Amino acid sequence: MKPINLSLCCLLLVAFVPFTTVVAQPNPGLAGQWRINTSQSDDTDDEVEKALKASGSKVETKWFDRRKEKYRGGPADQELYDRFSYDPVLTITPQGDNYVFEYADNFKSVVYTDNRSHTVSLNALDAAEDFLEGQWKDGKLLVEMHPRDGGHVYVTYTLIDVSKGRGKDKTSKRLQASFIIKPGTFMDEFKLKRVYDRQP
């Protein structure tokens, strides 16, 4: 009787073991309506102004200029920046494997978490639409945005427990969005933190 080739047996065994991919589970707590907590969030105007000054751009400052959202507005291909950095209310709705992020004026953007970016063509990324792709990691949603102006945005959405003191429900949820932003017209990236309180 010929001796059994153990190496060959191991290879055959591995060949018949089904391959499984570990997929991070989505956090269902992300869905719902969220309102900005201004005391916990960065001031968008301040962060944009810092980025402009750091890049050497001339920034006009006036002693009695109390305007809010003074950097809001511009070309249509930059609207996505205005929505996530200024709009006070964000509604997140699951849609199959993906998520619809809705802002004011019924402005919606879809975050694709179905690996669509692996098959999307370069022409699609250059089309007149924003493209957002995401993936879950350790309960956080990591999103890469490709706005129409050719810039890029990286954002991490994290759910945070917040103490409410005494009572039956001692904790509530906040949603923290940590952005790294580079509009197409900017020389460098800048950071922005937005914190939201869950709405009933």
Predicted local distance difference test score (pLDDT) of residue 142? 97
Token look-up 């810092």 returns 50
Predicted local distance difference test score (pLDDT) of residue 196? 98
Match domain 26-198 to its CATH number in 2.60.120, 2.40.160, 2.40.128, 2.40.50: 2.40.128
40: Cα within 13 Å, side-chain hemisphere: 15
Predicted local distance difference test score (pLDDT) of residue 63? 52
Which of 23-37, 55-69, 185-199 has the least mean pLDDT? 55-69
Mean pLDDT of 111-136: 72
Asked if residue 14 has pLDDT above 50, the reply is: no
Token look-up 């309506």 returns 33
Q: Which residue has the higher pLDDT, 28 or 95?
A: 95
Domain boundaries, the chain: 26-198
User: Could you give the CA distance from residue 98 to residue 30 in angstroms, rounded to a whole number?
Assistant: 12
Q: How confident is the model at residue 197 (pLDDT cuts 50, 70, 90)?
A: very high
Predicted local distance difference test score (pLDDT) of residue 169? 61
Which of 8-12, 86-90, 160-164 has the least mean pLDDT? 8-12
Provide the pairing of β-strand 108-112 with 131-137: parallel
Cβ(157)–Cβ(140) below 8 Å = yes
What Cα–Cα distance (Å) separates residue 64 from each residue in 18, 44, 61, 67, 74? 68, 19, 9, 9, 23
pTM comes to 0.80
Asked if residue 18 has pLDDT above 70, the reply is: no
Mean pLDDT of 6-28: 50
Q: Which residue has the higher pLDDT, 119 or 168?
A: 168
Predicted local distance difference test score (pLDDT) of residue 145? 97
User: Could you give the CA distance from residue 154 to residue 156 in angstroms, rounded to a whole number?
Assistant: 7
